[in-house]
Amino acid sequence: MELTKERIQEMKDIMEKEYGKEYTWKEATEAAYNMQNLAHVLYDFMIEDMKRQKRLEENPKGFHLDGEGYTCAICGQSCSKENTWYDKYGVKCMACQKGVDRKQVPASIAKNRDNWYSSYDLQSCFNVRSSTIRKWVREGVLKPRTITNDDKKPHIQVFLIKDNKDTLPPKKLVESKTIKETKNGQDWFRVEPWYKFVDPFEYLKSYKIMKYMKYSDPPTGQKYDYKFEYTHQSKKSKQ
Ligand SMILES: [Zn+2]
């Protein structure tokens, strides 16, 4: 849809007021069209969601979604049509839904990501490889929940915090942070892991996972730029 000059002027005024600098007509036009596209996407999304809620009232146990390319809220894999299941906890693939039905994992993990770690979460939060996580599982350091396929082979493993209470910290402690930098008048954003901002061993000292981690000293002048990694040895004492 074509935007009127008044709409673009409105956008220009809002941007200038918000960011305290002048914008060109071209920049304001671009921003206004981007905003319009976003509004369309949100509108479509809302309509889709309303339709689903209505269907859910008629089928409280859930149903397959029409269409393709949904993302499973548990394993993160893409799923379509008969391989989807939608209920009050969100969209899941059928393998994960069957895992819920078999009580291998609680249904609520599809809705609440704060109570559990995926293998990928552990890899990124603790800078370890998937092979390290498998080793931790073999050695009993981590207690997994395994969702199996119909042929009883593992589909995915997840790590509930309540099963690993003394070992894994609440996820909000290990969230990465977005840092803003201003260079030549432009704002840049980058994401840094939590362990760049604190002494990880002090910060997470009450969690057993730290017994299996090590760090090398930060380069001179940089207080917290540790190389944070998995160790085969026991925790080093800090000098
Ligand atoms: Zn899944």
Q: pLDDT of 112-150, one tens digit each?
A: 999 999 999 999 999 888 999 999 999 999 999 999 998
**Dist. CA 21 → ligand 1 center (Å):** 47
Asked whether residue 29 falls in the same domain as residue 49, the answer is yes
Confidence of residue 234 (pLDDT cuts 50, 70, 90): very low
Burial class (CB in 10 A: 0-12, 13-18, 19+), 94: middle
Asked whether residue 28 falls in the same domain as residue 76, the answer is no
**Dist. CA 93 → ligand 1 center (Å):** 4
Report yes or no on 30 lying in a domain: yes
Range of the domain at 66: 60-111
Please tell me the total count of domains within the chain: 3
**Dist. CA 220 → ligand 1 center (Å):** 45
Report yes or no on 140 lying in a domain: no
**Dist. CA 102 → ligand 1 center (Å):** 14
Burial code of 209-218, b = ≥16 C-beta within 10 A, e = fewer?
bbebbbbeee
Read off the pTM: 0.76
- Residues 157 and 119 sit within 8 Å (Cβ to Cβ): yes
**Dist. CA 76 → ligand 1 center (Å):** 6
Q: What is the Cα–Cα distance from 105 to 144, expressed in whole angstroms?
A: 10
Confidence of residue 93 (pLDDT cuts 50, 70, 90): very high
To the nearest 10°, the Cα dihedral for 11, 17, 20, 26? 10
Asked whether residue 53 falls in the same domain as residue 13, the answer is yes
**Dist. CA 52 → ligand 1 center (Å):** 19
Report yes or no on 81 lying in a domain: yes
Report yes or no on 235 lying in a domain: no
Report yes or no on 38 lying in a domain: yes
Q: Which of 75, 96, 111 is the last residue of a domain?
A: 111
Asked whether residue 75 falls in the same domain as residue 31, the answer is no
**Dist. CA 202 → ligand 1 center (Å):** 36
pLDDT at residue 238 tops 60: no
Report yes or no on 149 lying in a domain: no
**Dist. CA 195 → ligand 1 center (Å):** 30
